[in-house]
Structure 1
Amino acid sequence: MRLPDLSRYSLPREPVRLVRRAVRHVLGTQLGLLLGPALLLTLPFLLLRWRAPFRLLRRAEAWRLERFYRFHLATSPEKFLGGRRALLHGLLAGVLGYVMLDLLLLVSGIVLGSTIQAVISEPVVFDFSVWVLSRPALPILLIFGSSSLLATALYAEAAAWAQAALLRRWTPVVREDALETRISRLLITRRGVVLAIDDERRRIERDLHDGVQQNVVSLSVMLARARRSTDPERASALLDQAHAQSQSLIEEVRQVAWRVYPSALDEHGLATALSDVAASSPVPVQLDHRVSVELPSAVESAAYFVVREAVNNVVKHAGASQVSVRIETSGPPEGRRLTVAITDDGIGGADPEGGGLQGLARRVAALDGTVSVDSPLGGPTVITAELPSD
C-alpha cells in the first residue's frame, strides 16, 4: 500500500541512491580482484615472521569494505582476519572480482559495439555455430545494453551480500545501506502517524459537531421552552422529553468515547473488545481469536482499530452477508508476529488508496507492520495486517 509522500524531507531520491550504491558495489567488487589475491600472496610472508605486507593489505581490504560496501564491523580486522580466515576472505574477494571483470568486459563489448554499429548504420550480427542472427544495432543497444547493466548491478549486490555473509561468521556486520533504508522508512511512518492523528481528530470533531453538539443544542432549546411555558402540563411534558434526550445524549457521548478508545481494551483485553465490535455490527461477524500470549498495549490497540475500521468499511461499502476475523501469532518468541485477517463475502473492488485503508496502513506502519489488501471484483475481500508482537 502507498504510504504518505516524503517530498518535504531532503533525502536523496531512491533511484539516485540505488544508482550510487550500485556503482560503489561494482567498483568495490572489481577492486577485490586486486586486493583479494594480493592478500593471499602476503600469507607466505607470515611464515617468515614478516607481517608488514600482510598488515598493509589487511588495512587496505578493511578500507575497501568500508568505503565501497559501507560495512561497519563490530571489531577491527586485526582481531579476526588472519591466517585461514584471511585465506577464505581473499579467495572469495578474488573470485567475485574475476567474475565481475568478465561481466564488465561483456557489458562494454555490447554497449560500445552496438553504439558503433548504430553510428555507422550497420546491424549487429550474432554468429553462432548453428545459426546467424542479424538485428538493428539500436534495439540491441537498448535491450541488451540495459539488461546487462542491470545484471551487473544485481551481481554487485550479490557479491556484497556474499562477503557480508562470510564476515558475519566471524564478527557482527552492519550495512549502512540498510540503515539508510530504515531511516527512510521511519521518516515515512512518522509522517504517517501525524496524518493518522490528524484524521482521527477530524473524525472526532465530526462526531462531536454532527451528533453531540446538535443534541446539546436541541436539549437546551427544549429546556428553554419548558421554562417559558405557562402550562404546567406542557412544561412537564417538555421536561420529560428533555430527560429522555439527556439519556440519549449520555449514550451518544459514551459511543464517541468508545470510538476514540474502548475502555474494554484495557480492562478486559483484546478478545473482549473485539467481541463488542462483533456484537454491535449489523453484519454477522465470526471471530477466531487464537492469541494465548500477552501482547503490548500498542499492538493490541492497533489490532483493535484495524478490525473495527475494516468491519465498518464492510458495513458501509461491501454489501456482505458475513465477516470473519482471524487473529493469531506466529514465529519464535524473539520475533513473534501478530496476524490479523478480515475476510468478507461482499462485492470486492476495495480501493487500497481510500482514506479508511490508508489510515489502517499508517497506523500499522507506525509499529513497523504491514497491511495488504486482496479485493478482486466480485469478492471476496481479504485485509491482512501483520505487526511485531514481541
Structure 2
Amino acid sequence: MNVHIADLARIAAAPSRIIAGLMSGTSLDGLDIALCEFTGSGLQTEVKVLHFITMPYSQEFKEELKAISFKTEVELQKVTLLNAVIGSYSAKLILDALKEWGYPSVAVDLVASHGQTIFHAPISLHHMESFPNATLQIGDGDHIAVHTGIITLSDFRQKHVAAGGEGAPLAVYGDYLLLSSPVENRILLNIGGISNFTYLPGGRNPALVFSTDVGPGNTLMDQFVQLNYPGKYYDQDAAIAKSGTPNTELVEALLAHPFFDRPFPRTTGPELFNLNYLQNAKEAIGQLSISKEDTLASLCEFTAISIVTAIKQAIGEQPFKVYLSGGGMHNPLLVQKISEGLGFALNDTADLGIDPDAKEAVLFALLANECVAGGQTDFGHRRGIPSVTMGKISLPA
C-alpha cells in the first residue's frame, strides 16, 4: 500500500485529527488559517481551535488576483500560472504560521484548502441553458501537499456542483454539525464579500436546514472605497458612510435586480455585484453626481436591507437569534442597520464557541474531517443541499 494512503487510513480511523483549514474570500485580502483539533464526526463532532491567524497578501499579489478575478475575459496564461503560484504561496503561508506558533508540520494530519474563487457562474448568472452551474477556485492542492509534506484536501465546491448544487454556500454543512441547537432557532449570518446565512431550526433536523447567499456583503462598499480613496481598502468603522446620507432612489434602484426575487437557495458573487452594477443603478435614476459619502451610505443601506429582507422572508414570524461572522460584522453602521431592521440585538459566533473571524476556515477544516472520517449525515435531496462528501485528496511527493 502507498505509504500516504496508509497514513490517510490511519488518520481517518484515529480518535482525533489536527487539520489546518484555509480560507481566502472574495475580498482578496489574505489567507485565514485555523489550526483545529477534531474529534468525532457528524453531530458528534467536537472542535478545538488551537491557533488562528490571517496572513495578509502583499499589494502586488492582490493586484495579480484582481487581474483574473470575477471577469468574463482574462488572460488564460495568467490563470494557469496563478493556479500553481497560489498553491505554493499558500503552502509557504501555512509553514510560516506553524513556525510562528511553534507547531511542527509533522504533527498536522491534513490541510483543508478552499482555494481562491476567480469566477462563480450559476445558471442564474450565465443564462446559457446548454451549460450547468459552475464555479472555479484555483490554488492547486498538489502544490500545497508537496511543499508542506501534508495530505491536502481542496476544491470542495466541485462535488457540490456535480451533485446538483451551485457550489455555494457550503457553510450549511459545518453550521449544522457544529452550531445547531436542539431548542433554539438560529440564523448563522456570515458577511464576507458576499453575505450568506444558514437557517438552523431548533431540533437539529437536517431536512429543515438550508443556506443561501443573500447578496452583497462588503464587496460593493470595499470596491467603491478602493476606487475613490487611494490607500484605503475598506471604510474603517464606517466613518465615511456615517458622514453621508442614503439616497432613497439609489437604494431602490440597487434593490430592483431580479436576483432578489429568486427563490432560496440562491448564489451570487462580485461577477454581479460590482461597480458596474452601481453605475447602472445611478444611470437608471439619472443621478450620476451623488457624493462619495452619500453613495457609500446608500451601499451600506442597500446591503442591510437585502440581508434583513431575506432573513424575514426565510423565517417568517417564528422567534430566532442571529449569530454573526465575517468581516462585515466589524462595520458598526451595517450591524446597527441590520439590528434595527430585525428589531433585536445580534450575537456573534463567539457566543457559540467559534471565533467569528476564524469561522469560515474552521468550516472548511470540518469538511475535510467529514470527508475522511464522516460523511454519514443525510441532508435529503433538496435543491441546493446535496448529501455529498466534498474535497479532492492530494498526497505529498
- TM-score of the two chains, using structure 1 as the length reference: 0.20
- TM-score of the two chains, using structure 2 as the length reference: 0.19
Which has the larger share of strand? 2
Larger radius of gyration: 1
Which has the larger share of helix? 1
